[in-house]
Amino acid sequence: MARAEAKKTTSDLIIERLLAWGVDTCFGICGDQVNGFFESLRTHPEMRFTHVRHEENAALACVGYAKFTGRPAACVATAGPGAIHLLNGLYDARIDGAPVIAITGLAYHDTVGAHFLQDVPSDRLFEHACMFSERVMGPAHAITATDLAVRSALMNRTPSHLAIPIDVQSWTLEQDTVSDKNVPGHTSTAGQRFEVMPPQEQIAAAAEILNSCRRVAICAGAGARGAGAELERVAEVLGAPIVKAGLGKDCVPDDSPYTTGGMGLIGTSASQEVFEDCDGFLIVGSSTPYYDFWPRPG
């Protein structure tokens, strides 16, 4: 390996790999169990860092960035209580389908589980909130773990998490052992877009149902983003107003002639009238929790 590469720390390798994936924005707050990662943030100005007042703010800002740009961001917190504070934002990301990368500190690698200061196993703690949650074992593991974390976040639209012991954060490749099975290049930043398409018979069945209705209502959510033109064409063909769930606010403009605005607790009276008067209901990319406002069967 090149001498310059050997001098890179675990944190350097993670940040540079995040940048290679296009993750160039990080929110967080410093702490003594994440000092090695913050040193790498200091020496990598390409990673835009926003210092916040509280770890929960970091996670929620990260989620907001991901929701409204469509691009993943990172958030970082120290071990123990600092890491735990991220969970509110990470659960928000999990429920709303936002790709984020959480990075937390851990106790020294040889004191984990020994009741050292802030000895909370965040890799296990975050398993329910994050589809991918792993402990980084050293610089030889850093690139692989980062690739898998970002890939999972992008493909599954969920948060991912990397937990790094405080001493491992500053280890260089010279201080690590690379196993024979760790073949260079077995992961990459070659992320691929994919789309889920229903079978044609399901599309035909849905079209038959909608065509049999006289007053169709459309409820559009975050999953309709980027398909505004298609959504308006469907509204035109069906004569169906578009009611927007909270995260679907930008799927069509507020001044579109096809939309009645929002729904639910902060919705419009026109939207509620649409729901009360329809005999067909088309949901496009929404998992809104305000289904008590939806049309009632019968």
Are the CB atoms for 163 and 123 separated by under 8 Å?
Answer: yes
Same domain, 123 and 248: no
Which residue, of 117, 142, 175, is where some domain finishes? 175
Give the pLDDT band of residue 3 (cuts 50, 70, 90): very low
Same domain, 95 and 157: yes
Give the pLDDT band of residue 37 (cuts 50, 70, 90): very high
pTM for this predicted structure: 0.83
CATH code assigned at 228: 3.40.50.1220
What share of residues in the chain are helix, strand, coil (percent, to 5)? 45, 15, 40
The total domain count for the chain is 2
- Residue 182 within a domain: no
Q: What is the DSSP letter of 270?
A: H
* pLDDT at 196 exceeding the cut of 90: no
Average pLDDT over residues 192-200: 78
* pLDDT at 182 exceeding the cut of 90: no
Same domain, 21 and 114: yes
- Residue 192 within a domain: no
- Identity at 85, one-letter amino acid code: H
**Residue 25 phi, psi (nearest 5):** -135, 130
- Comparing CA positions, the residue from 147, 133, 141 lying closest to residue 190 is 147
- Residue 185 within a domain: no
- Residue 195 within a domain: no
CATH code assigned at 118: 3.40.50.970
Average pLDDT over residues 248-265: 93
Domain extent, residue 108, equals: 3-175
Pairing of the two strands 100-106 and 73-77: parallel
